[in-house]
Amino acid sequence: MIKVSVMYPYTADARFDHAYYRDKHMPLLKARMGDACLKYTIDKGLGGGAPGSPPAYIGMCHVFCESVEAFQKAFGPHAKEINGDIKNYTDIAPVMQISEVVVG
C-alpha cells in the first residue's frame, strides 16, 4: 500500500479554507479517483514542537492506494480538474510525497 501526502507549509499570511478543503476538495478527489482511493485523511495543523510555535504545515491530506500505478491511473485523467480547484481554498503551493506504508 502507498500513501500520497499533500502538505501545505505554514506561513503567517497564507490563506487556507479548511472547511472548503474538507467539504468540497477532498470529496471531489475521492469522487474522481473512485475505488482507487481506498481512504483519505485530513490534518489541520495546530502547532509546532515548541510551545506557542506555529505548525510546520497548516493542512495536509493523505490518500491511500494499493500502488503508485493505481494512484497514477486514477488521478492522472483528473489532475487538471483537481489541481485547478486548489485556488478555491488556498494560495499555498503544496508539497507532495509518495510513501510506502510499512506499518498501519
Domain coordinates of the chain in residue numbers? Answer: 2-100
Percent share of the chain, pLDDT over 90: 99
Q: Is the pLDDT of residue 104 over 90?
A: no
CATH number of 2-100: 3.30.70.100
Grid coordinates 481512504 are at which residue?
A: 39
Which of 94, 90, 98 minimizes the C-alpha distance to 24? 90
Is residue 67 within 8 A of residue 61, CB to CB? The reply is no
Largest CA-CA distance found in the chain, in angstroms, rounded: 43
Query: What average pLDDT does the chain have?
Result: 97
Exposed (0-12), middle (13-18) or buried (19+): which is 24, by Cβ within 10 Å?
middle
Query: Cα angle at 102 between 5 and 64, to 5 degrees?
Result: 35
Q: Is the pLDDT of residue 55 over 90?
A: yes
pTM of structure = 0.94
Give residue-wise pLDDT tens across range 88-101: 999 999 999 999 99
pLDDT at site 13 = 94
